[in-house]
Chain A
Amino acid sequence: MTLVKEAPARPAGKRPAAPAAGRRGRRRETLAGYLFMSPWIAGFLLLTAGPMIASLYYAFTSYNLFTPPQWVGLDNFTTMFQDPRWQKSVEVTLKYVVVATPLKLLLALGVALLLAQKRRGQGLYRAAFYMPSLIGASVSVGFVWRALFSDDAVVDRTQKIFGLDVGGWIGNPDYVIYALVALSIWQFGAPMVIFLAGLKQVPQELYEAAEMDGAGPLRRFWNVTLPMISPVLFFNVLLESIHAFQVFGSAYVVSDTRCGPADATLVYTCYLYQKGFKEAQMGFASAMAWTLVIAVALVTAVLFWSQKKWVHYEEAAK
């Protein structure tokens, strides 16, 4: 707008050249645009797109890093689908995703509803609850978790009070995965912060109107809050489940470096790491990686498809 206003003020001599200058200007803008984003373009080609293509190729080869890749067709995939350890890793990962994600989001939403009330100290609570999301991925916290869930430590002794005598969860193949689930739930702060931001945007009038219509707190939550924050809920479900599929560090650190005991925490990425970097089966590992990408893409697609049914977008968004 301002440009149009300024135009007559320009020296008269330059006016006839305007169309050419415009085209040249546009070309210069394009050049500037690509120059500014050249780091990203280089990164995208060299570190994302190129490697993706390379990995797709490796997936159909036998490759041990030392001799050139040998084309083997679908061999990696057929071996993989029949491999009991691969099946185990899928089972462990699905269990982790399906148990940890809903529990974490439920807690995040519950605490967000609590913190959405204006009370003294609310900001401090919010900060404290967020902190685990920043340190949860560290090796330090992995060690702490290992300690808390080992024999005779606090979790073991607490469960004994309730008559549960299974020992520490770390050494127990049936329970160790739940130590990882607990570590994931402990990091509920990140989705909580996103829920809180969503809750803040719900117009107060809607609650007042619902209250006047005689809706109790539960109805207000179900008919006002939940639809209004459904886009944020969708975002959290998408992000948290994609992250959960890729869990690695906690399995490697909390259980043991072989993701045991008895492959009980052999999450997908852990098996991929073992195959690729311990056994130098780059072809097999690439086939695994692509299978994961396709699985995650499918989950994403299903979520996006399902959002039509339950995600409520405001017509007049801002």
Chain B
Amino acid sequence: MTSATSPALPTAHERRRVGSIAWHVGALLVLAVVLYPVIWVVGASFKPSKDIIASLDLLPTAPVWANFSGLADGISGISIGSFFWNSLVYAVLAVVGVVLSSSLTAYAFAKIRFAGRNLLFTLMIGTLLLPYHVLLIPQYVLFRNLELTDTLVPLVAGKFLATEAFFVFLMVQFMRGLPRELDEAAKLDGCGHLRTYWSIVLPLSRPAIITSAIFTFINAWNDFMGPLIYLNTPEKYTVSLGLMMFRDQEGISNYGSMIAMSLVALVPVIAFFMAFQRYLIDGMATSGLKG
């Protein structure tokens, strides 16, 4: 626009324009690859079963609802809602457990001075790097001896016992950043640690708690190996196991509904992500910088 009036400006301006266009082309290209599978599953859910694999159209020409109405029949007598309910119970219990136990532990690490604190902190960080597979078999033996397999207990016990070191770490980092004056003032006012924790530190740690809660929810919702090992009554299956059961029993005859259920299973995760993406991404980012 300004090119006619001043001849010096346009080159810089144009170069910036070209750079900007190149940037957006690059970003859009990556975006297309990243979103393709997600858009694919949305489109596939509305296609007749036989078209899902073979048709290259991303979106259906004539959308059908049959795949979703097919879900109403359930899988071998178990309603689809049952799987979603079980996953929800698992995820909510996991969130409650992680938030309570991790915040208590983090408070001790961040706000109380006591002998052995540094050693315990090192141990906790060490568990972050431990491949959890070494615990798989002995934990299974333990819960089997306690006759707790085929319940949610083995899946959530660790959550209530702060074994998710990543979240403890996240909260410790956050609580250390809170101004010391606040808890010292509380102490002078005669607040014990429990009061200080509950009325001061916990409310101020909201961002770290939200991050941990959402990550925990999503991890529990997606969890596959835990339910695979511990749950064996189909009525108790979570969505992950329900989907696997679907594939094994009706994966060919009712392929469209299986894909539709996959889409429905993704909805809570994507919804949480859209609502809380700031918290999740910032939580991820700080973990890397301080680790």
Which residues of A come within 8 Å of B, CB atoms?
Answer: 2-3, 6, 29-30, 32-34, 36-37, 39-44, 46-48, 50-52, 54-55, 58, 65, 111, 114-115, 117, 119, 121, 125-132, 134-135, 137-141, 143-145, 147-148, 150-154, 157, 186, 189-190, 193-194, 196-198, 201, 232, 235-236, 238-239, 242, 245-246, 248-249, 252-253, 257, 269, 272-273, 276-277, 282, 285-286, 289-290, 292-293, 296, 300
A282 to B145, CA, bound (A): 14
Number of interface residues of B (CB under 8 A): 95
Give the residue of A130, A190, A289 whose beta carbon is less than 8 angstroms from that of B277: A130
A186 to B126, CA, bound (A): 28
- From B218, which residue of chain A is reached at the shortest CB distance? A134
A37–B104 touching, CB < 8 Å: yes
B285–A196 touching, CB < 8 Å: yes
B269–A135 touching, CB < 8 Å: yes
A48 to B132, CA, bound (A): 9
B112–A55 touching, CB < 8 Å: no
- Is chain B's interface secondary structure helix, strand, loop, or mixed overall? helix
A52–B134 touching, CB < 8 Å: yes
Stretch of B2-10, B74-82, B205-213, B260-268 at the chain-chain interface: B260-268
B133–A272 touching, CB < 8 Å: yes
- Is chain A's interface secondary structure helix, strand, loop, or mixed overall? helix
A114–B138 touching, CB < 8 Å: no
Check: B258 CB closer than 8 A to any chain A CB: yes
Give the residue of A125, A193, A282 whose beta carbon is less than 8 angstroms from that of B137: A282
Give the residue of B38, B142, B225, B262 whose beta carbon is less than 8 angstroms from that of A143: B262
B281–A143 touching, CB < 8 Å: no
A65 to B127, CA, bound (A): 27
A285–B280 touching, CB < 8 Å: no
A134–B163 touching, CB < 8 Å: no
- From A52, which residue of chain B is reached at the shortest CB distance? B134
Shortest beta-carbon contacts, A-B, top 8: A43-B161, A194-B288, A33-B114, A51-B138, A197-B285, A140-B262, A36-B108, A40-B162
Question: With A52-B134, A296-B131 in contact, do A130 and B160 touch (Cβ < 8 Å)?
Answer: no
Chain A residues with Cβ below 8 Å from B248 are: 257
Q: What distance in Å separates the Cβ of A258 from its nearest Cβ neighbour in chain B?
A: 12
Chain B residues with Cβ below 8 Å from A252 are: 224, 228
Contact with A along B133-173 (1 / 0, CB 8 A): 11111111110100000000000011011110000100000
Chain A residues with Cβ below 8 Å from B132 are: 246
B115–A36 touching, CB < 8 Å: no
B285–A194 touching, CB < 8 Å: yes
Question: With A292-B133, A292-B134 in contact, do A148 and B37 touch (Cβ < 8 Å)?
Answer: yes
Question: With A143-B259, A242-B131 in contact, do A135 and B114 touch (Cβ < 8 Å)?
Answer: no
A to B CB contacts below 8 Å, 16 in the list: A6-B188, A29-B113, A33-B114, A37-B105, A39-B162, A40-B161, A47-B157, A55-B138, A126-B281, A135-B270, A139-B244, A140-B266, A144-B259, A194-B288, A232-B288, A277-B140
Check: B129 CB closer than 8 A to any chain A CB: yes
A138–B222 touching, CB < 8 Å: yes
A119 to B134, CA, bound (A): 46
Chain A residues with Cβ below 8 Å from B222 are: 135, 137-139
Question: With A2-B181, A201-B289 in contact, do A36 and B141 touch (Cβ < 8 Å)?
Answer: no
Q: What distance in Å separates the Cβ of A106 from its nearest Cβ neighbour in chain B?
A: 13
Chain B residues with Cβ below 8 Å from A29 are: 112-114
A47–B139 touching, CB < 8 Å: yes
Q: What distance in Å separates the Cβ of B198 from its nearest Cβ neighbour in chain A?
A: 12
Most B-side CB within 10 Å, residue of A37, A132, A257, A285? A37
